[in-house]
Amino acid sequence: MSLMTTAAIMQPTYLPYLGYFQLMAASDVFVFLDDVQFARRSWQSRNRILTANGELMLTVPVKKHDRDTPISAIEIDDSQGWRDKHLAAMRHAYGKRPGFEEGFAFVSEQLANHRDGKLADLTCGMAVAAAQRMGLAPRFARASELGAAGARSEHLLAICQAVGASAYVSPMGSSDYMEEDGVFAAARFPARFQSFVQVDYPQGQGEFAPFMGFVDGLMNVGWSGMRALVSPAP
């Protein structure tokens, strides 16, 4: 029996896509990388849903901050009534889909639970709650609470060590810079790269549109169908 503990590390994302949860399914401990610089117009504060007119971007507005402010310190700007707009957009897009009632109830509850607070509290909290509803059970941690030093790959390795991991699983998109850095190889720390496995599901219209926020899957197949989308058969 293997005693290896595998860690995955990802920046907190608003309504993360299904590949985010596939990494959770492949890990024993999942760390939200919230101690790096916040980037405007990134997935950290926005994501896409699918409407009858195509993709629609939903963005969480944030308060003004210094350029080098970490994600963990970014505050939501609740002066713009964005929550009602997001819910109205989801109702319009998915109101007739099979999973709408339970999906809308979940998103409504999550948005109500995280008011006048930090962006990472909303994004991490929603991701953890969704993972639990899908039956995923890694241990969760936030990088901002670990005190891990270093930058780039050195920082990732320090996080893995801080949470007691003995292996690392990363999205395929990180392979180039991690191999260039050579940090994991030098430390003889096992690291593998996982490609996103797209599992199509009925969206109620035309050609399948991949890479939507996870709520697109939820609204279409409900919680009962989500596990198959994030834990695809090998």
179-196 residue pLDDT tens = 889 999 999 999 999 999
Mean pLDDT of 121-131: 98
Flag whether 1 is in a domain: no
Q: Is 183 among the domain residues?
A: yes
Q: How far is CA 221 from CA 29, 92, 177, in A?
A: 27, 17, 36
Is residue 14 situated within a structural domain? yes
Parallel, antiparallel, or unpaired for β 6-10 and 167-171? parallel
Residue 214 is part of which domain span?
6-230
Q: Is there a domain that residue 134 lies in?
A: yes
Cα of 92 vs its chain's centroid, Å? 24
DSSP secondary-structure letter at 13? -
Residues sharing a CB contact under 8 Å with residue 31, sequence separation 6 or more, in sequence order: 7, 8, 9, 10, 140, 141, 142, 143, 146, 159, 163
pLDDT tens for 34-86 read 999 999 889 999 999 999 999 999 999 999 999 899 999 999 999 989 999 99
Give the model's confidence band at 115: pLDDT under 50 very low, under 70 low, under 90 confident, else very high. Answer: confident
Asked if residue 110 belongs to a domain, the reply is yes
Residue 165: HSE in the Cβ half-sphere, 13 Å Cα cutoff: 28
Number of domains in the chain: 1
CB 140, CB 32: distance < 8 Å: yes
Q: Which of 94, 97, 121 is nearest to 14 (CA)?
A: 121
Residue 193 within a domain? yes
pLDDT given for residue 108 in this prediction: 98
Tell me the average pLDDT of the chain.
Answer: 94
Residue 107 CA to chain centroid, in angstroms? 14
Residue 90 corresponds to which amino acid? Answer: M
Tokens matching residue 135: 């039956």
Secondary structure tally for the chain: helices H, strands E = 8, 7
> In this structure, what token pair is assigned to residue 228?
């198959």
145 belongs to a structural domain: yes
What is the model's pTM?
A: 0.95
Distance CA 65, CA 59 (A): 17
